[in-house]
Copies of this chain bind each other. A is one copy, B any other.
Amino acid sequence: MASTPTSAYGADLQPFAGIASFMRRPVTRDLTGVDVAVVGVPYDGGTSYRSGARFGPRKIREASLLLWGYNNALAVKPLDVLSLVDYGDVDVIPPSIVDTMENITREVGAIVDAGTTVIALGGDHSISLPLLRAHARRFGPLSVVHFDSHPDTWETEYGGRPYSHGTPFRRALEEKLIKPGSYIQVGLHGPTSDARDWQDARDLGVRVITMDEAAAMEIPAVVAAIRETVAGPTYLSLDIDAADPAFAPGTGTPEVGGFTSHQLLQLVRGLKGLELVGFDLVEVSPPYDHGDITALLAANLVFEFLSLLALGKVKA
């Protein structure tokens, strides 16, 4: 890994100073010996309401400078354990979702194939489909844990078109990127287009825990349900709109009545010990954020995931 030392990025400086690579890690595409790469996917052409998620990766990187390093809840300092780099961003093509998806699968696929775990920063939720393609190519059909206010399993959107931020998981199921019976959605809430929307997900074999159910069960039971559902190589997709707009105002299609930040932190920590092979955090839309609180929540959720990877490596 021949790259700029982290001191140039300001690793010894206070968080207001220096270059905003993810956690001051070197910016490089040399993956030799790299455990984990943070990859930005700044595409927002799939969103049905507010655009702006193209600036999600940049702002999450900026917020990551506040991640002091040690995870008290999980008792691990990820960067002591893992070799992490900031890969920079995938070349997305706003005028064409199809071209964009090809780029994502190709670029991320190469990283995954190199044996490096990818943490993808969205971008809107349409990017999960090419990300799942890249991961399934290496790991086979995946278990999927999916936190969201929407199922994203619409048949089509935009008058019959297959690709958008409302359809990625339907496509992934059709393409058999997801292991049957090993897919759980947590946090659905808010109005939908039709009575069928949530039921469609269930009919496709997805285990669904709605926000109302999660509130009634409480977090430990939700965690238990997740752990019952998934097994083997597991991919986590986290749409920040699973959080209530009070906690995540900066998002494309906010839905009132969602999780608190404390609940989301507990949910991600609850995945400890699973065989986590990939992660995307999507739908952070900075133009609608205030005081960067959404980006900061996102950065912390990435940090929890990173901590889980570190624990996995320690154990292995």
Contact = CB atoms under 8 A, between A and B. Distances in A.
Interface of A: 2-5, 7-10, 12-21, 26-29, 40, 42, 44-52, 54-55, 57-58, 61-62, 66-73, 75, 77, 86-99, 126, 158-159, 161, 163-164, 188-195, 197-198, 210-212, 215, 244-247, 249-250, 253-254, 256-258, 260-262, 265, 287-293, 296-297, 300, 303
Contact of A20 (B19, B69, B98): B19
A187 to B, nearest CB: 12
A45 B94 contact: yes
Copies of the polypeptide in the assembly: 6
Contact of A91 (B13, B244, B290, B303): B13
A262 B263 CA distance: 14
Contact of A245 (B93, B189, B296): B296
A45 B297 CA distance: 26
19 contacts: A4-B4, A15-B48, A17-B54, A17-B92, A18-B40, A27-B27, A44-B51, A45-B95, A68-B192, A70-B194, A70-B195, A71-B191, A72-B197, A95-B163, A215-B262, A245-B261, A250-B291, A256-B265, A290-B291
Contacts of A291: 245, 249-250, 254, 288-290
Nearest to A103: B159
A143 to B, nearest CB: 26
A56 B27 CA distance: 22
Given A17-B42, A66-B253, A92-B17, A26 B51 contact: no
Contact of A69 (B47, B69, B77, B191): B191
Nearest to A11: B88
Contact of A287 (B4, B52, B190): B52
Contact of A19 (B21, B190, B258, B292): B21
A86 B4 CA distance: 11
